[in-house]
């Protein structure tokens, strides 16, 4: 895997998919694609570097095209809402998730996104996987059900972990919680998954360690960030 950089220059480029600014990276000849669904803070440098690590960090026999649509289209959560330790903050977050950042509405966009990407890439892509970061982890989970376009899915430091989602998952599934996810909810959710799965809690990493909250100036955080993406790649190498 390439070294993780603090001041990172993305390797890919931006295209438009379903009217959404979408970061595209990886070898155009790769036949497997990853749809990376980010968190509520947008496609920041840590997310784009993660996309490049997925695209270029594996073996030559496991190359991926990676696409990162801006599902939230510039309307991101405010950092002032976190931690949600007041009623006002909790109300703001709740309204955001019920409205613009509704998980179900994001999931509904996925088939059209994939269809347009496949048209743009002229049939090169034959298989898809999903990676969701925090908010995107919930979206990826909801999309990993019957009739899913994905062959495997990953959810890292997931938002809104719900054990009721577990039985509906139909594809190999990887769950990477942080120290801050509810351990009882994570266990109940993982136990409810009936298909092949890999679950590893990063007990020394905070929520968001693979996305916008990754502090890559900190050596420990940087190593955890790298190991997180290595874990995702190892999972995909096994199931894709």
Let me know if residue 189 belongs to a domain.
yes
Q: How confident is the model at residue 127 (pLDDT cuts 50, 70, 90)?
A: very high
The pair of three-digit structure tokens given for residue 66, joined into one six-digit string:
């990676």
101-112 per-position pLDDT tens digit: 999 999 999 999
Mean pLDDT of 2-13: 95
Which CATH number belongs to the domain containing residue 99 in this structure?
Answer: 3.40.50.1820
Tokens 């989970």 sit at which residue?
141
The pair of three-digit structure tokens given for residue 47, joined into one six-digit string:
């997310």
Let me know if residue 92 belongs to a domain.
yes
Q: Chain centroid to CA 6: how far?
A: 20
Contact 175, 191 (CB under 8 A): no
Let me know if residue 111 belongs to a domain.
yes
| 213 or 150, higher pLDDT | 150
Let me know if residue 4 belongs to a domain.
no
CA quadruple 200, 203, 208, 213: dihedral sign: negative
Let me know if residue 67 belongs to a domain.
yes
The reported pLDDT for the residue numbered 59 is 78
The reported pLDDT for the residue numbered 58 is 80
The reported pLDDT for the residue numbered 60 is 77
Let me know if residue 18 belongs to a domain.
yes
Model confidence, pTM: 0.96
DSSP H or E segment with residue 108: helix 103-120
Let me know if residue 8 belongs to a domain.
no
Q: 25-41 as b/e, with b when 16 or more CB fall inside 10 Å? A: bbeeebebbbbbbbbbb
Mean pLDDT of 117-125: 95
Q: How confident is the model at residue 83 (pLDDT cuts 50, 70, 90)?
A: confident
| Residue 26: domain span | 13-239
Structural domains of the chain, count: 1
42-75 per-position pLDDT tens digit: 999 999 999 999 999 987 778 999 999 999 999 9
Q: How confident is the model at residue 1 (pLDDT cuts 50, 70, 90)?
A: confident
Let me know if residue 7 belongs to a domain.
no
The pair of three-digit structure tokens given for residue 153, joined into one six-digit string:
């899915």
């Amino acid at each position: 895997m390439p070294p993780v950089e603090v001041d990172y220059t993305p390797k890919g480029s931006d295209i438009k998919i379903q009217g959404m600014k979408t970061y595209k990276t990886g070898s155009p000849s790769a036949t497997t694609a990853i749809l990376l669904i980010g968190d509520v803070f947008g496609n920041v440098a840590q997310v784009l570097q993660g996309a490049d690590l997925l695209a270029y960090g594996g073996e030559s026999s496991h190359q991926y095209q990676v696409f990162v649509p801006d599902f939230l289209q510039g309307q991101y959560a405010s950092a002032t809402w976190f931690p949600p330790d007041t009623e006002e903050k909790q109300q703001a977050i709740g309204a955001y998730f019920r409205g613009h950042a509704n998980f179900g509405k994001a999931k509904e966009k996925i088939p059209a996104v994939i269809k347009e990407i496949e048209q743009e890439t002229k049939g090169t892509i034959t298989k898809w996987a999903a990676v969701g970061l925090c908010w995107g982890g919930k979206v990826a989970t909801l999309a990993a059900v019957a009739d899913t376009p994905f062959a495997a899915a990953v959810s890292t430091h997931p938002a809104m972990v719900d054990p009721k989602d577990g039985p509906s998952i139909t594809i190999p599934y990887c769950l990477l919680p942080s120290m801050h996810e509810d351990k009882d909810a994570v266990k109940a959710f993982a136990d409810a998954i009936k298909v092949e799965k890999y679950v590893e809690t990063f007990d020394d990493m905070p929520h968001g360690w693979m996305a916008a909250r990754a502090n890559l100036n900190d050596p420990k955080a940087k190593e955890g960030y790298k190991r997180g993406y290595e874990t995702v790649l190892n999972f995909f190498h096994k199931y894709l």
